[in-house]
Amino acid sequence: MKVKEIKYLTSPTDRINDCLDIFVVLEDNYCTNDLVEVTTPQFISAVMKKSKSDFLEPGYPYIIVSKLTDEIIQAAIQAYIDTEDDSYWLKLYHIVPTLDIEDINEILYRKKQENIELEAKIDAKIELDLDEE
């Protein structure tokens, strides 16, 4: 899958120290209704200075680039697409801001149950192997 087009919600005012909301359109038109936030390290530093903090407060996930140019932004987004797990990182960045705490708790509960089942299978296999010895 490849990036077809990047649409800026607003144009960058400073290519080195800014943050942009952009729409990503892929060749298969996936992700046309979702925003991705792209920023620079200088912008993150400025946000921390402004809030008088030694760290970035929790919030919307950023894709961080050295400079806000079409080429760099497109390459960064393509890297989020080119993962081995079916564009896992791009999908994660799209879905995270839409989740509420109930969604997150439901996902965590389901994963906990899956881990309990997996541990039970592993324990059963270990016991079976020990019995065979």
State the Cα–Cα distance between residues 2 and 70, nearest whole angstrom. Answer: 14
State the Cα–Cα distance between residues 9 and 80, nearest whole angstrom. Answer: 20
Res. 65: pLDDT tops 90: yes
**Higher local confidence (pLDDT), 28 or 108:** 108
> Which residue type, as a one-letter code, is found at position 5?
E
Predicted local distance difference test score (pLDDT) of residue 60: 82
Q: Determine the straight-line distance between the first and last CA of the chain, rounded to whole angstroms.
A: 50
Mean pLDDT of 68-72: 93
Residue-wise pLDDT tens digits, 39-64: 999 999 999 999 999 999 888 889 99
Q: Are strands 62-64 and 19-26 parallel, antiparallel or unpaired?
A: unpaired
Residue-wise pLDDT tens digits, 21-42: 988 888 776 655 567 899 999 9
Task: From 22, 18, 21, select the one nearest 7 (Cα to Cα).
Answer: 22
CA distances from 71 to 15, 16, 28, 128 (A): 12, 14, 20, 56
Res. 115: pLDDT tops 90: yes
Q: Which residues of 20-31 are buried (b: 16+ CB within 10 A; e: fewer)?
A: bebebbbeeebb
Res. 86: pLDDT tops 90: no
